Structure formats: C-alpha cells, structure tokens
Amino acid sequence: MTASSPTAALRPHAEQSFADELAALERADSRTRPPGWRLSPWAVTQYVLGTTLDDGTEITPKYIGARRVVEVAVATLATDRALLLLGVPGTAKTWLSEHLAAAVSGDSTLLVQGTAGTAEEAVRYGWNYARLLAEGPSQAALVAGPVMTAMAEGRLARVEELTRIPSDVQDALITVLSEKALPVPELGTEVQAARGFNVIATANDRDRGVNDLSSALRRRFNTVVLPVPATVADELDIVTRRVADLGRALELPEVPTSLAEIRRVVTVFRELREGATADGGAKVKSPSGTLSTAEAISVVTGGIALAAHFGDGTLRPADVAAGIHGAVVQDPVSDGVVWREYLETVAREREGWDDFYRACREVSG
Ligand SMILES: Nc1ncnc2c1ncn2[C@@H]1O[C@H](COP(=O)(O)OP(=O)(O)O)[C@@H](O)[C@H]1O
Ligand SMILES: [Mg+2]
C-alpha cells in the first residue's frame, strides 16, 4: 500500500499513505456520517483497527488495542466535546490522533505542536506584517492558525502536548471550544466553526503538573486514556506489526525477523519498566528512560537496518544490543549501573540468552 504511494515524501501524511484504504472505505460506507465527516464513525473505527471490506480491500490495523477505546474516542469527536488522548510516552497518542484526523477530515495536518514557547497566534491567528503595515488590518493580512483554519473548513484540529502549552495560551482554546467561534476584534468579525470542526489534543501523563489543564478547559474535553500494552504478547504483536510496516515504508532490504529477537527486546524493556522479571518476579532496578513500545519499535527497526546492511541478513543479538544500550542508558552513570546489574543478574542467568548477554557486554564495555 505505501509502496504505491504517489508521493516521494520521506514521511507522507496518513491520508496520503492510506489514500486507497480511505477511498475504499468511503465507497463501502453506507452508514450515517456526522455533518462534515468524510466517513461514518463505524468506518473511522474500521480504518483505525483494520478489517477486510466486502470488496476484498484489506484495511490494515493502525492502532492495536481495545476496540472500545477507539469507539469512545471516535464517538466523542461526533459530540460537542473535544477529545483528549492521555497516556505515558509511546502509547500511540500522536499516532492515533493523526489517523483519526485523516479518517474523519481527510486532513491530519492542522496541527499545533505544544511547547513552552507556543504562542497564542498558533491557536488563533497572526498577521502578515508587511501587509498589515501597508494596508492596515484586513482579511488578506490575517494569517489563520491551524485551529482557525480547521474551524473555517469544518475539520479536526490537532493539539499535541497540550499540557506543555502555557496556561494563558491554553485559555484561548476555551472560547474556541465553548463558543465554537473565534473573534477577530481587529476586523470586527469572527470565524464561526463549520460543522465537522473539533479538536483532538494529546497530553503526556508524566507531564502532569507542568501546566495542568484549567478546570474550565478540562470540562470541554472527554479524556481517553491510552494504556500501556497489558501483556508481553500484546506488546510483541504491536512491535512486530509496526516493524514490518516501517520496514516496508523505509524500503529496508527484507530481513527474516526472528520473533525470538523481538521478543527479547520487548521482554527486556518490560522488565526494566516494571522493575520485576517476567518469569520469577525478581526485583530489578528501573532506569530513567521510558522504554516505551515506541522505543522497542525503533530498536528493532535499527537492528534490521544493521543486519541488512552490515550483518548476514538475519537479525542477531549484536544488531539490537547497541540500540537497547542507547535506549536504556540515558544517564551514563546511574543508568549504566542499572543496565550492568540487569545484565549480570538477569540476562546472564537466562537460558538461551548467552549470545545476547555477550553482545550487550561488548557494547557496554
Ligand atoms: N497500541 C499501539 N498500536 C499501534 N502502534 C503503536 C501502539 N503503541 C505504540 N505504537 C507505535 O509507537 C510509535 C510512537 O507512538 P506515538 O504516537 O509517538 O506515542 P505518544 O504520542 O503516545 O508518545 C508509533 O509509531 C506507533 O505506531
Ligand atoms: Mg506524542
């Protein structure tokens, strides 16, 4: 599917990569579509979770997880409340938000990236100063931000990392979400949201307290928590599929991916994250990094590139060892100790892990 993508962009938007799937769903979708939506809520959910359509079109799963989570998220977008995806890093908040916007609006690009420096212009509008000076305030001099554009066109706007945005800038969203209108006092006008407009925000659990949402803003959102994969098997499924997708998208040479090797990466990350071994429940220390599913995907993909270009074409322990070391040892001193202890007390003793233990020892010197 991605191979036939019409564009050579390094990272096409979801609506570009999956244009064929979205078109097939649009044809097959006979259910009621909320005003301004490109697909019905049912079809959006099928797009996200994957299915095979009656005409044989394969819809690939994007988000791998509980159907109910996706249904609640999609249903929220069809109401007058906005959607807040909450979770620890690497739980696919950004990923899901992009796919929801692509499926609902056919456009995932109306995006505000939340940082401490996000200014009100990003949420509202700014000015083309050359024009403003030459002509004074006019419609032509106004530069709409992504939220304003989404309102005017009746699409979804995405706000990434909402809680990193300073509170006074967050407050600009309150009017937008409650009044569904954005006043432009300089022109004596306002932009009224067209039907189909809504907002998907993401926020990191770990940022809680950075710029907590005001209660006024929180009330405008329905919060959906994206969970960490519950079991090794679930996480293994996510990593295996995403690694295969990524390998195709990056056109990496085919590498027979050893499930055992992927399982090992997932196991190491889970054990370090949870602070206990999967088999005996023996305590291990946790390093400072998050070691999320997303990082496991990166480590395995990096390993495949190594194996393809410099190895014997099979994913080996040595191909993932450097990636794991890099992900685990963020702080060279304290994480280094944690990692060495894990290697000596857990990896060394485990049956079938000799090669892996040696490869990791070699990297950590
Ligand atoms: N449950 C999941 N289903 C599908 N992909 C997942 C899942 N969890 C993590 N990922 C993958 O992890 C990567 C990073 O996710 P991302 O959306 O950036 O995380 P977040 O925004 O929550 O920090 C994405 O490539 C995504 O495909
Ligand atoms: Mg994110």
Q: Would you kindly state where each structural domain of the chain is located, as residue ranges? A: 2-225, 232-364
Single-letter amino acid, residue 350: R
Buried b (16+ CB within 10 A) or exposed e, 93-130: bbbbbbbbbbbbbbbbbbbbebeeebebebbbbbeeee
Q: Give residues whose Cβ lies within 5 Å of ion ligand 2.
A: 93-94
- Ligand 1 pocket test, pick from 47, 68, 95, 301 with the greatest ligand atom count within 8 Å of Cβ, gives 95
Looking at residue 208, what is its pLDDT? 62
The predicted pLDDT at position 1 comes to 44
Distances (CA, A) of 101 to 5, 95, 98, 159, 193: 19, 10, 5, 11, 16
294 Cα nearest atom in ligand 1 = 12
- Secondary structure (DSSP) of 2-49: GGG-S---SS--HHHHTHHHHHHHHHH--SPPPTT-SS-HHHHHHHHH
Decide: 284 and 296 in contact? Cβ < 8 Å: no
pTM of the model: 0.92
Residue 46 Cβ < 6 Å to ligand 1: no
Give the model confidence (pLDDT) of 160-195 as tens digits: 999 999 999 999 999 999 999 999 999 999 999 999
Distances (CA, A) of 184 to 125, 148, 180, 199: 9, 11, 13, 20
Q: Whose CA is nearest to atom 10 of ligand 1?
A: 92
Give dist(CA 327, CA 335) in Å, integer: 10
Contact 36, 180 (CB under 8 A): no
Q: Is residue 91 lining ligand 1, measured as CB closer than 6 Å?
A: yes
2-225, what's its fold? Rossmann fold (3.40.50)
Q: Per residue of the chain (365 residues), give pLDDT as tens.
A: 444 555 578 889 999 999 999 999 999 999 999 999 999 999 999 999 999 999 999 999 999 999 999 999 999 999 999 999 999 999 999 999 999 999 999 999 999 999 999 999 999 999 999 999 999 999 999 999 999 999 999 999 999 999 999 999 999 999 999 999 999 999 999 999 999 999 999 999 876 655 678 888 999 999 999 999 999 999 999 999 999 988 888 888 887 767 889 999 999 999 999 999 988 788 999 999 889 999 999 999 999 999 989 988 889 999 999 999 999 999 989 999 999 999 999 999 999 999 999 999 999 87
Say how far apart CA 271 and CA 279 lie, in whole Å: 10
- Ligand 2 centroid to 311 CA: how many Å? 32
DSSP string for 45-68 = HHHHH-EE-TT--EE--SS-S-HH
